[in-house]
Structure 1
C-alpha cells in the first residue's frame, strides 16, 4: 500500500498561481468592501462633525442674540434715564423762565403804579413807533 506521503504530497503554504488567481477576486472584493465601509464610516464621521458644527453655530448665534438683546435693553434703559433727566432739566429751566417773567411783570406793574403818567406816555410812544413801522 501507498503511504500517506505518497498519496498526499506535502503541502506548501504558498498558494499556487491558479489558487492565487481564484482567491484574487475574493480578496479584491473584500478590500473593496472594507474600503467602502471605511469611506462610509468617514462620511458618517464627517456628517456628525458637520452636525456638531451646525449645532455649535446655532448656540453661538443664540448667545450673541441674547448678548445683543441685553445691550439693547441696557441702551434703552440708559436712554430713558437720560430723557427723564433732560425733561427734568427742561422743566426746571421753564420754571426759572416763568419766575423771571413773573418778576418782570411784577416790576412793570409796580412801576406803572408808582409813575402812571410815565407809563401812559411810554405806551403812547410805543404805539406811535409801531404805527410808523407797520406802514
Structure 2
C-alpha cells in the first residue's frame, strides 16, 4: 500500500474530522443536558427544603403561640387568686378595725385625731 497525502500517518481525513466534531458536539450537548437536568433537580431540592423549613417554622410559631397563650391564662388565674387574697385580707382588716372601734371608741377617736394632726403638720411643710 502506498502512502498518499490522504492516507498519511498522523493525518485524519475530512470525513473523520467531521465525525469527530459531531461526536464532540454530541458529547458537549449531552453534558449540557445532564447539567441542565442536575440544575433543575437542585432547584427542585432547594424548593422542597425551603417548603419544609417554612412548614417547620410555622409549626414552631404555632407551638410557641400556644405555649404563650397557656402561660398567659395561667398568670391571669394566679393574678385573680392574688386579688382575691388581698380583698379577703382587706376585708379582715376592716372588720378588725370596726371591732376595735366598737370595743374602745375613745381610743379610736383619740388615735384618729392624732393621725389627723400629724398629717396636717406634714402637709404644711
The normalised TM-score by structure 1 is: 0.84
Highest Rg: 1 or 2? Answer: 1
**Structure 1, 112-121 or 50-59: larger mean CA deviation:** 112-121
1:87, distance to aligned residue in structure 2 (A)? 0.7
**Structure 1, 95-104 or 113-122: larger mean CA deviation:** 113-122
1:116, distance to aligned residue in structure 2 (A)? 1.2
Is it true that 1:40 corresponds to 2:17 in the alignment? no
4+ residue segments displaced more than 6 Å: none
- Please give the alpha-carbon distance, in whole angstroms, between the structure 2 residues aligned to 1:17 and 1:96: 117
1:19, distance to aligned residue in structure 2 (A)? 3.9
1:20, distance to aligned residue in structure 2 (A)? 3.1
Q: Which residue of 2 aligns with 1:72?
A: 61
- Please give the alpha-carbon distance, in whole angstroms, between the structure 2 residues aligned to 1:125 and 1:90: 37
1:41, distance to aligned residue in structure 2 (A)? 0.5
- Please give the alpha-carbon distance, in whole angstroms, between the structure 2 residues aligned to 1:46 and 1:31: 22
Q: Which residue of 1 aligns with 2:92?
A: 103
Q: Which consecutive residues of structure 2, in runs of 5 or more, have no partner in the other structure?
A: none
Q: Which consecutive residues of structure 1, in runs of 5 or more, have no partner in the other structure?
A: 1-11
Show the 5 A alignment for 1:18-57. Answer: 18-20=5-7, 24-57=13-46
The normalised TM-score by structure 2 is: 0.90
1:91, distance to aligned residue in structure 2 (A)? 0.6
Among 71, 78, 86, which residue is 1:82 paired with? 71
What is the SS of the residue equivalent to 1:63? helix
- Please give the alpha-carbon distance, in whole angstroms, between the structure 2 residues aligned to 1:46 and 1:16: 44
Q: Which residue of 1 aligns with 2:4?
A: 17
What is the SS of the residue equivalent to 1:105? helix
* Root mean square deviation of aligned Cα: 1.8
